[in-house]
Amino acid sequence: MFRDGLMQGLVKGQMDLDLQAYRPAIVYINGDYWGIHNLREKINESYLQNNYDYGKDQIDLLERDRVVLAGDVTHYNRMYSFLNRNDMSKPENYTYVKTLMDMDEFINYQIAQIYFSNTDWPGNNIKFWRPKTENGRWRWIVFDTDFGFNLKEGGLSHNTIEFAAATNGPSWPNPPWSTFLFRTLLKSEEFRNTFIQRFASCMNSTFSPERVLNLIEQYKSAIAPEMPGHIARWKYPSSMNAWNTEIGKMISFGRYRLRALERHLVGKFSLKALVDCSLVVAEEGMGWIYVEDVPQTDNYLPARFYPEMPIHAKACPKPGYRFVGWEGLSNAAIDSITTFVADESHLIAYFEEGNSIVINEIHYHPDALQNAEGGEFIELFNAGNAIVDLSGYSFTKGISFTFPERTWIFPREYLLLTQNPNHYTDLEINVFEWKDGRLDNAGEEIRLVDRFGQLVNAVAYERFDPWPTLAAGYGYSLSLSDPTLDNDDPQNWRASQHRGGTPGQTNFHEFPSTEIRNWNQY
């Protein structure tokens, strides 16, 4: 009753993936009880309109072996042909393919399906899309994973890595066309190393048995009180015992699946055993460590990685704090590092109290009517718990502006810079006029520094995907999904809900905090 919802819920918020939202609902039709039905997003062109603001005529959407659902197959055929004719062990060829497909998302997609042990894939239940823009790249959508998570006998120990890279699979479920991309890209050392270490990073956190078992219990508890009525209505499952037996299979999967995957990874890639490496945030609550783009959100995480290849780590401070430096495997003062792990090693990230000012909204390319009225604007937000004195703070890139003395911004308050302050007199916030410079419609870096020239916040936006393209001249602003998120990551930005943006107001109301594209209540 929740197997597929659980699997997608496991990776939601942990990996950059396109997913189906899930919400169980109790249904009555004309007063008659119809039991539990799961509300799910339908994967079609409307999904991309709702989640990415792309209309049907702005996308290529394919399924299975290049069957066209929207747009056309021209770009995909060109990419497929290049992969077929060129050696992916050559870095320059792999670098070019990364301009055609969202490689990080594809790696996440393969890792998720392999962990799930989904055997109704990859020759079935596969859809992929790209925006029809100059730099639009292919992405894959996770849906209908019901064969996974120990539904079928042997699912727990299934070698899904070999299954997903097979060269001569049957017409169903893994024919050669369906494994072509994965097995071809594995010839690239960069792809292979990233896939292996990101898988290890996911096993440390996203797919840790403790996290998986906790989530199973949450999903089970949400519908358990309703299950007797549902069973009485439909006689399926046959009894509460039958339902609990099936959940027991899922619990076994969550508890033991990683043991099988470790054997499969070592066997497939001739790896040495995983080694211990503790990931530590020195002061709890000040920030996070990401390893291979996977959040390690515990203050202290006993982690394991493969010693043959490097790991890529990034320290991400929470609003109101700043990164200071690393200790252990690296002593660098930069937030992003590449290092090799050794047994019993550690990596500590140090943060300290810092500035909480966030560039929260950017209206860089208004339409003609908006240019005649409000024009461009930049909105700042104080995400911290203290008043910040902006006196002497300056924008040094994007526009040129220095805040006057006695400029204060209170906690959870907004501040606006615009070309035409007269258009925003009804806002109950400070509004300032900038006269020097314009925001580049093609994209550029906006940089705010304090009175001593130290960086406070910066955003390097672009007009093309993965940045929201509706902000590029269609009357919508670039709006941060949540001011607590990393605003230098394009995945955390959306086109505004309203034309002209939401200056001086919360950007979005309909999603819970930190939820960007896909949401549910569990």
Give the CATH number, domain containing residue 303.
Answer: 3.10.20.320
Residue 200 — φ and ψ, nearest 5°? -60, -40
Domain boundary among 324, 354, 384: 354
Stretches where the chain sits below pLDDT 70 are 319, 370-374, 509-522
The answer for residues whose C-beta is within 8 angstroms of residue 204's C-beta and 6 or more apart is 279, 291, 294, 296, 301, 303, 304
> What is the per-residue pLDDT for 521?
29
> What is the per-residue pLDDT for 518?
32
- State the residue range of the domain holding 456: 357-495
Q: Is residue 62 part of a domain?
A: no
Q: Looking at the structure, do residues 398 and 480 belong to the same domain, yes or no?
A: yes
> What is the per-residue pLDDT for 508?
85
> What is the per-residue pLDDT for 517?
32
Q: Looking at the structure, do residues 365 and 343 belong to the same domain, yes or no?
A: no
> What is the per-residue pLDDT for 297?
74
> What is the per-residue pLDDT for 512?
35
Q: Is residue 65 part of a domain?
A: no
Q: Looking at the structure, do residues 149 and 29 belong to the same domain, yes or no?
A: yes
* Residue among 164, 176, 162 at smallest CA distance from 120: 164
Q: Looking at the structure, do residues 211 and 283 belong to the same domain, yes or no?
A: no
The count of structural domains within the chain is 3
Q: Is residue 133 part of a domain?
A: no
> Which own/partner contact pairs does 149-152 have at CB distance under 8 Å and 24+ positions apart?
149/3, 149/6, 149/7, 149/116, 149/117, 149/249, 149/250, 149/253, 150/117, 150/249, 150/250, 150/252, 150/253, 151/3, 151/249, 152/119
> What is the per-residue pLDDT for 370?
65
Can you say how many angstroms the Cα of residue 498 is from the centroid of all Cα atoms in its chain? Answer: 24
Q: Is residue 467 part of a domain?
A: yes
CATH of residue 408's domain is 2.60.40.1260
Q: Looking at the structure, do residues 424 and 462 belong to the same domain, yes or no?
A: yes
pTM for the predicted model, two decimal places: 0.78
Q: Looking at the structure, do residues 213 and 202 belong to the same domain, yes or no?
A: yes
Q: Is residue 84 part of a domain?
A: no
Domain boundary among 196, 221, 246: 221
Q: Looking at the structure, do residues 380 and 332 belong to the same domain, yes or no?
A: no
Q: Is residue 390 part of a domain?
A: yes
Domain boundary among 189, 221, 253: 221
d(CA 348, CA 330): 9
- 323 strand-pairing partners: 351
Is residue 478 within 8 Å of 468, Cβ to Cβ? Answer: yes
Q: Looking at the structure, do residues 210 and 320 belong to the same domain, yes or no?
A: no
Dig out the tokens for 284 from the structure.
């709890």
Q: Looking at the structure, do residues 118 and 193 belong to the same domain, yes or no?
A: yes
* DSSP state string for 112-141: HHHHHT-SS-SSSS-EEEEESSTT--BEEE
Which residue has tokens 């770009």? 75
> What is the per-residue pLDDT for 473?
86
Q: Is residue 92 part of a domain?
A: no
> What is the per-residue pLDDT for 374?
59
Q: Is residue 505 part of a domain?
A: no
> What is the per-residue pLDDT for 259?
97
> What is the per-residue pLDDT for 157?
97
Is residue 31 within 8 Å of 37, Cβ to Cβ? Answer: no
Query: Residues 430-453, buried b or exposed e (16+ Cβ, 10 A)?
Result: bbbebeeeebeeeebebbbbbeee
Q: Looking at the structure, do residues 348 and 429 belong to the same domain, yes or no?
A: no
Q: Looking at the structure, do residues 363 and 441 belong to the same domain, yes or no?
A: yes
Q: Looking at the structure, do residues 292 and 434 belong to the same domain, yes or no?
A: no
Is residue 216 within 8 Å of 255, Cβ to Cβ? Answer: no
